[in-house]
Amino acid sequence: MKMKKHKVGITWVFIIIILAAGYFSQRHQRSKTTEQGELGGQQITAPQQIKASSESAPQKTENKKPPQSLDGEGITVIGDSVIVGIEPYLKEKLPKITVDGKVGRQMSQAQKLIDDLKDEGKLGNRIIIELGTNGPFNNKSLRSLLQSLSDKQVFVVTTRVSKGWQDTVNTTIKDVAGEFHHVKIVDWYAASEGKKDIFYEDGVHLKPDGSRYYASLLIEALQKQ
């Protein structure tokens, strides 16, 4: 009788062990399924976040405005026959620019012209001065001119001319312009070095390709400000 009861007890122990094993197996499967579901959600969300970021980035770029408007408004160019030649190429890129070029003009005539433009309300906030082709000028006259434009942004252009005053003009420009924070130099002499093919025979006035090149240098200088 005792053996029979002992066998029954062992049988129940085995039954309990089997039931317990099945229970824990089901819980393990449910836990694994839950983890897989959570991982799947992360994999879907991450690409959506990346896509949203990539779509929003161009909008920020499109909203950025250039620091300077380069339609030519507020820009005045004063020069001699070299400027007369490049005027059409400047206005092609900067339609609202004011260009005052005159054949034979010298630096000594610039102050009166600037005063007249001021009185007429035609002088811009950014001024390009290209003079020196027709003769030299001294430090004092250029310094006085630049002082009268202390509230403007001024660009003074060096010259290339096959005359004895070329180096004097360029030295004066570099010496005096360096005294003023509101004045920048556009070094046409350096930029045109070795480019004989862009000039006419006089070595001063420019062929169409040269005029475009000259205009591009002025525009580049304006864009940097």
Catalytic sites, residue numbers: 81, 202, 205
State both tokens at 44.
């879907």
Task: Please state, in angstroms and as integers, the Cα–Cα distance from residue 162 to each residue in 84, 167, 189, 191, following that order.
Answer: 19, 10, 11, 16
Question: Residues 154, 127: contact at Cβ < 8 Å?
Answer: yes
Tokens 């122990």, residue?
13
The one-letter code for the residue type at 86 is I
Question: Residues 127, 76: contact at Cβ < 8 Å?
Answer: yes
Query: CB neighbours (10 Å) of residue 175?
Result: 12
- Among 135, 208, 132, residue whose Cα is nearest residue 170: 132
Question: Residues 165, 45: contact at Cβ < 8 Å?
Answer: no
Question: Rounded to an integer, what distance in angstroms lies between the CA atom of residue 169 and that of residue 75?
Answer: 24
Question: Rounded to an integer, what distance in angstroms lies between the CA atom of residue 165 and that of residue 91?
Answer: 30
Question: Rounded to an integer, what distance in angstroms lies between the CA atom of residue 94 and that of residue 135?
Answer: 29
Contact residues for 12 (Cβ-Cβ < 8 A; gap 6+): none
